[in-house]
Amino acid sequence: MDAEERLLAAVEQLIRIRNETSSALLSECGIPDITVKQIGYLKTIDEQGEVTFTRLAEITSNSKPTITELINRFESMECVYRERSPEDRRVIFIRLTEKGRRIARVEENALTLLVERMRESLDHDDLDLLVRIIRKVR
């Protein structure tokens, strides 16, 4: 096996571990079959913090009926809930539940767990070398 094949195999192993970790985290949430696109919508809601149906439709380039259908589905999955604005009762905010927040952050959490596994598997010198090598990649 030449150097390029070994590098490819090593990168594939890291991606496999990260994917397995993501899948395990999603299974813990009780939604192992959620789509990447749905996770993306939850991430958008998480990043916005306080988002209305209209604003989410604008951000995602979807119609309001599409967003309503999506939020209804997320409510049935116990990922979001609706909250009326105390200032203007006509305005409804979309909020993430704790479950929705965990799903929205699954990629970030999977990477954190991957880094922990690497830290546990490598001694200090190897870890420093790995960091220096990764930083060289552009």
Alpha-carbon span 70 to 72, nearest angstrom: 5
Mark whether 53 and 24 lie in a shared domain: no
The 10s digit of each residue's pLDDT in 75-114 is: 999 999 999 999 998 999 999 999 999 999 999 999 999 9
Query: 24 in helix, strand or coil?
Result: helix
Mark whether 38 and 78 lie in a shared domain: yes
Mark whether 28 and 49 lie in a shared domain: no
Instruction: Answer yes or no: are the C-beta atoms of 94 and 80 closer than 8 Å.
Output: yes
| Both structure tokens of 45 | 């809601």
Looking at the predicted structure, is the pLDDT value of residue 138 above 90?
no
Mark whether 91 and 39 lie in a shared domain: yes
| Both structure tokens of 60 | 């995602």
Q: Total structural domains in the chain? A: 2
Mark whether 19 and 38 lie in a shared domain: no
Mark whether 11 and 65 lie in a shared domain: no
Mark whether 69 and 88 lie in a shared domain: yes
Alpha-carbon span 76 to 70, nearest angstrom: 10
Alpha-carbon span 69 to 78, nearest angstrom: 14
Range of the domain at 2: 1-33+105-138
Residue 129 pLDDT grade (very low, low, confident, very high; cuts 50, 70, 90): very high
The 10s digit of each residue's pLDDT in 3-24 is: 999 999 999 999 999 999 999 9
Q: What is the pTM of this model?
A: 0.81
